[in-house]
A and B are shown apart, each in its own frame.
Chain A
Amino acid sequence: MSAPAVTNRKRLLFLLLMISLMLIGLIVRNGYIQLVWGRELQEKALEQWTRSLDVYPQRGIIYDRNKEVLAQSASADSIAVRPSQLADAKYTADRLAEILELDAEELYQKISDTSKSEVWVKRQLTREESVQIRELNIKGIYFTEEPKRYYPNGNLASHILGFTMKYAEPGEGIKGQEGIELYYDKYLKGWPGQIVMETDAHGRETPTNVERMIPPIDGWNVILTIDQAIQHFAEKAVSDAMEQYRANKVYCIVMDPNTGDILAMANRPDFDPNDPPRELGYEGMEAFVKNIAAKDNMDPGSTFKIITTAAALEAGVISRNSTFNDPGYRIVDGQRIRCWRAGGHGHQNLFEAVQNSCNPAFMDMALGLGTKQFYGYLDAFGFGSRTGIDIYGEEKGVVMSRSSVKNVDLARMGFGQAIAVTPLQLINAVSAVINGGNLMQPRLVRALEFDDGNEYIYEEMKPVKLREVISDSTSLLMREILESVVKKGSGKNAYIPGYRVAGKTGTAQKYSPGGGIKQGAVIASFIGFAPADDPQVVVLFMVDEPQVAVDFGSVVAAPYVKMILEDTLHYLGVEPVFDENTSQETKSVIVPEVTGKPLVEAVKELREAGLDYLAEQTGTVVIKQVPLPGAEVLVDTTVLLYTGNEGDSGEDPVDEELVTVPDLTRKSIREANNILTSEGLKLKIEGIGLAVGQAPAPGTMVEPGTTVTVYFETPE
């Protein structure tokens, strides 16, 4: 035997060289993959390893100005099934179908389709359904909290609040679709969080999985300028008017003239934001959900004469002592324009002209101002432009272009024709006339509030003064004139004993779609405020096409303004004063204590005391009353009764039974969240991993909604 020859040895060395080169080549190749390409690969890998569940924040609450809840979110569970994780799809389908009253066969088809990673079974379960399914404890069933929006007062302030819609995908939360819900959506909605967990290729949690939760941030609460009680007064009034006059539409705005705060805004027709009439389609729904007080353009009629008068006084065209002569018409540009009263009002002073709502007097004022000055005041009072209120889709009104205005148009505008305004523009301009001359930006929101239990932020919105339109002295004179309208003129029906009420009636013609005057169809309106010497509240009430054949503004609208003003002034604690400015003394009474009493009994007691009442919500027991017991009020004052059912507490009509804090030891973040949610408790997370401690301790009795802090640690 011989040792390897030279050839063999050379070739062995060559082989060693080749293998070495190949292995070094592989080290380089692997280095490229792991070090250079690695970042990109790892990112993609991470995507496939993890599954994230969105955790939705609580949508903010909408409060009235006194922090009474107008809209709030509660959550309901929705369930999804991951077909690949079900041990027994048939069993699961049968049990779920039984609890949820679904078709078992259909459900089985759905949840046995393993090509889908997740199948939604039902959204918004009831509490009982949710509990029963949790008790089944089947692996592969997942719960997601879905928020649901509640408007505890139903139709109340529906046009202001608007409503929300659900996203197409369950678990994505809800978004504002109209009103405040839409305008302040970005504040209300909050910021979603996430639970991230690691899974194997079949979507199951891996043994090394450490769940991470990025907690959601709840939405901001919105505090409106609306006062729920005043809103109730307004709602009651528009409802009554709608019914009594079988009207087309009714508008009502209640405002604080000094700040621009809308205290109430009620329209008919209206809707229940808990269940907007989506079945009517977009167009059909619009008739109910549109906030017509800000979105309808209409002829203002005689209420606009307030503006004409204020402008003419401010410009010096007329003065306190001006007189007017009304033969029953004026001829302008060869056209004969009649006064509403056949034969005219004859010789009148300024006060009488306004009390009589005498058309020729206002034609004189407008013509005296001339187009340039008159339009200057229109602009200054905000006609033809949006008021800037927090409502999307606000209308601007219609003002003729300045260049095409003829004298005849100007004269008509002077008494409220040939111009279209929104009810909101009108009340806002009148507010400027009576508040000392300042045009405010009307607003619905006075503050935004953030409160997640740890952090509290309160952002107050300051009233915005847009400009000074008329002087304080003109304003003072205007108040005096308008008070005389109620005392002596067409506004008598708005008179309230003990208060200095001022205002102006209005009756506007309606035009048919062709452009001609619509016979027999009018918009009756009244704008009133009190107290005349220091206005606190201004109310505009408009009834579209009341089915009555009378002097519209004064008969149809004024009594409602009176009603709202009276209730509101009592409610705001504006004391009646009986002096030469107001009428004879009226009997005052003490409000009896009716809280806690059955509604029937409470009503009886109030009647005996000489008081009127208005019951809100449908319960049998009075849980709250406004004004409070012991208040001294005038006879016939409306006492607002909030009702609930036996056992409800006065503070909060929600069920306040205590719940037991469950033991969360060794639970994952998601499990803990689910358990607490099902008990109506909130989770605050400290750390990551599995629960090792909690406060309050298990077994503690707490109120629903209490936050339980849970400490998590990553297991060794």
Chain B
Amino acid sequence: MKKKPVDFPILLTTVILVALGIVMVFSASYYYSAERWGDSLYFFKRQCLWAVIGFAGMFVASRVDYSRLQRYSRIFMIISILLLVLVLLIGEPRNNAKRWLGIGSLTIQPAEIAKFAIIFFISDSMARAGGKMKRFLKDVLPILLVVGMVFGLIVKQPNLSTAGSIVILTLVMLFIGGLNLWYFAGLAAAGAVGAVVLTVVAGYRLDRYKAFIDPWADPLKSGWQLIQSLYSLGSGGLFGLGLAQSRQKYLYLPYPETDFIFAIIGEELGFVGATFLILLFLILIWRGIRVALTAPDLFGSFLSAGIISMIAIQAVINIAVVTASMPPTGLPLPFISYGGSSLAMFLTGIGVLLNVSRHCRTV
């Protein structure tokens, strides 16, 4: 079969997103960075390095025929689970959580790898089931067990946000895979109940929820982050204060280079810049779904759908949190937020998506 060129809009959108991300990471972090590390370029340099690694991963992934990867899906899953176990044993603790494994001077998050292992694993399983998912025990249960194990390991770190996003990802993929809608409704309900239980059990999560309902009830503590995020966005107005002109990054807004980078974008580039960013995501998602729709086989279709769903889930949740549209939870904004593993894995994922696009039927 003669291969087509890659889907150009996906490539272009991705490059623009990464470039924007690097600029914004620099702008958002340089003050805090100088303060914390004595080097205003600390985050910027690392993000650049990871972008290079990510683009290399993307290039390689786009060149390797995805169908040849299918057979490694389960091994990939097993390796990723082992890494999750390893991080609990020898991980670097930061902020009371063991999420990172150090490799030389760089650190990786096994949970980021696990996301993609899950996408491969579920795509493979569902493709084998022929896109029907009729038999609960044979088709659905193995997936639930594996996902359950991964979920448990990530919660143990603890990192409920990432674990939660994997649950949502699984539900979305099962939905695409043709799961009976009653089963789907049951699983979604179970997930919702689980989320409520976990929120109530851990007091700090309940506080976050209360802070979401009324950030000004406790403006200096639990409400601080949301209020500062709103101040950033509000200060931006239509056209923003201008690149590098954020005031909120002067230690007012916590995590300006990671979870709350969207707020700094809103402050510096205004409503126009923020909307442009959301539209870039919309284009990317649309092109990604299009790849899934026109993929030559079920594995390719599910793989594409999984990758693009992961991006969509994180983008929606991250922006919803920053705009105080949902209770706060820490998920990075794909391609934009500072964070090497996340950036590299998403870029590699885009590489896979591009590879699938080369095999697509012409619509």
Contact = CB atoms under 8 A, between A and B. Distances in A.
A483 to B, nearest CB: 81
B75 to A, nearest CB: 20
Nearest to A46: B235
A238 B319 CA distance: 83
Contacts of B248: 45
Contacts of A19: 282, 285, 312, 316
Interface stretch (B96-104, B146-154, B270-278): B270-278
A200 B127 CA distance: 54
A26 B321 CA distance: 10
A46 B324 CA distance: 20
Nearest to B234: A41
A653 interface: no
Interface string B286-320: 10010011011111010001000100100110011
A453 interface: no
A41 B130 CA distance: 53
B59 interface: no
Interface stretch (B49-57, B76-84, B172-180): B172-180
Contacts of B45: none
Interface stretch (A32-40, A59-67, A71-79): A32-40
Contacts of A40: 234
A185 interface: no
B301 A200 contact: no
Contact of B233 (A8, A27, A38, A46): A38
Nearest to B316: A22
Interface stretch (A9-17, A147-155, A533-541): A9-17
A25 B320 CA distance: 9
A44 B231 contact: yes
Interface size, A (range): 35 or more
A26 B278 contact: yes
A186 B296 CA distance: 86
Given A12-B289, A48-B231, A1 B297 contact: yes
Contacts of B232: 45
A461 interface: no
A3 B301 contact: yes
Contacts of B316: 19, 22-23, 26
Interface size, B (range): 35 or more
A31 B237 CA distance: 9
Given A48-B252, A201-B250, A15 B234 contact: no
B247 interface: yes
B6 interface: no
Interface in A616-652: none
B17 to A, nearest CB: 14
A206 interface: yes
B248 to A, nearest CB: 7
A42 B293 contact: no
A4 interface: yes
B138 interface: no
B131 A26 contact: no
Contacts of A12: 176, 289, 292-293, 301, 305
A208 to B, nearest CB: 7
Interface string B172-209: 10011110000000000000000000000000000000
B131 A8 contact: yes
Nearest to B179: A11
A49 B275 CA distance: 26
A8 B176 contact: yes
Nearest to B250: A200
Nearest to A19: B312
Given A48-B231, A49-B247, A34 B238 contact: yes
Contact of B234 (A9, A45, A202): A45
A29 interface: yes
A683 to B, nearest CB: 28
Most buried by B among A25, A31, A200: A200
Contacts of B325: 25-26, 29
B233 A206 contact: no
Nearest to A1: B297
A700 B234 CA distance: 50
Interface in B89-144: 127, 130-132
A207 interface: yes
B319 A7 contact: no
Given A26-B323, A30-B275, A15 B236 contact: no
B8 to A, nearest CB: 19
A33 B31 CA distance: 25
B361 interface: yes
Most buried by B among A12, A25, A38: A12
Contacts of A29: 320, 323, 325
Interface of B: 31, 67, 127, 130-132, 172, 175-178, 230-238, 245, 247-248, 250-252, 266, 270-271, 274-275, 278, 281-282, 285-286, 289, 292-293, 295-299, 301, 305, 309, 312, 315-316, 319-320, 323-325, 361
11 contacts: A2-B130, A3-B298, A5-B178, A16-B285, A23-B278, A26-B320, A33-B234, A41-B231, A42-B237, A45-B248, A208-B245
The 7 A-B pairs with the shortest beta carbon distances in the complex, nearest first, are A41-B234, A200-B250, A45-B231, A201-B251, A1-B297, A38-B234, A34-B271
Interface of A: 1-5, 7-9, 11-13, 15-16, 19-20, 22-23, 25-27, 29-31, 33-35, 37-42, 44-46, 48-49, 198-202, 206-208
